[in-house]
Amino acid sequence: MNKFGVLVVEDDAPIRNLIATTLKTHDYKYLLATSGEDAIMQASTYSPDVMFLDLGLPDIDGVEVIKRIREWSVMPIIVISARSEDEDKIEALDAGADDYLTKPFSVEELLARLRVMQRRIALLQTDNELIENSVYVNGKLKIDFAAGCAYKDGEELKLTPIEYKLLCLLAHNTGKVLTHKYITQKIWGSAWDSNVASLRVFMATLRKKLNDDKDTTNLIQTHVGIGYRMLKNDSM
């Protein structure tokens, strides 16, 4: 796969330079922006493949940038935020961001996030095919949407209706971090605290049935205090 184009939006020069140097070293094409308005302008002009977005920008708020870009683009957005800003991360994910990177981060973390997005982009491109065929395959997991069945290693999983709904929701958003609020709203139509507690229970039983805790490469990632993500697994 060709290394894609990355738009880096960060007003803090040392962090911006670190990201730029990393991308350059690894042959990614990149553009730099230092404000929200500049980010929106460059995103619409150059159509980058993925965006790193700092949430604290000098002009408009990062969450506002996401909302405006999401009006016309599904480009993966990775938010950059400080460790203390969990609320901001959740707000950004609910506004349509795909992933987040917490400051301070390592070069390895940055590159790992890009690889996840590379897989997500490949998946978004085959999304139409997926809907047409109505079958989702991810490593050893297979979901037959038309039949309403899920399989692991060719064996049908005995899922409850809520577990199945949960699995489909994660599969449809492979590579994207989904917040507790987003998931509970999709599954139960509301995001009450009691539903978030139920979600943990359903997620635990779903993972047990998937045997996800015993595999060396987990399919469902837990983001403590934030939510869950289905990873695209080619090697399983």
Q: Under the rule (CB under 5 A), what is the footprint of Ca ion?
A: 11-12, 54, 56
Q: Which CB, 11 or 86, lies closer to Ca ion?
A: 11
Cβ of residue 10: shortest distance to Ca ion, in angstroms? Answer: 6
8 Å CB contact between 214 and 152: no
Q: Which CB, 54 or 163, lies closer to Ca ion?
A: 54
- Residue 61, both tokens: 């708020």
Q: Which CB, 16 or 176, lies closer to Ca ion?
A: 16
Cβ of residue 38: shortest distance to Ca ion, in angstroms? Answer: 13
Q: What is the 3-state secondary structure of 164-222?
A: HHHHHHHHHCCCCCEEHHHHHHHHHCCCCHHHHHHHHHHHHHHHHHHCCCCCCCCCEEE
Nearest residue (beta carbon) to Ca ion: 56
User: What are the helix (H) ranges across the chain?
Assistant: 13-25, 36-46, 62-69, 86-94, 107-125, 127-133, 161-172, 180-188, 193-210
Cα 61 from Cα 169, distance rounded (Å): 29
Cβ of residue 12: shortest distance to Ca ion, in angstroms? Answer: 5
Q: Which CB, 65 or 170, lies closer to Ca ion?
A: 65
Cβ of residue 15: shortest distance to Ca ion, in angstroms? Answer: 8
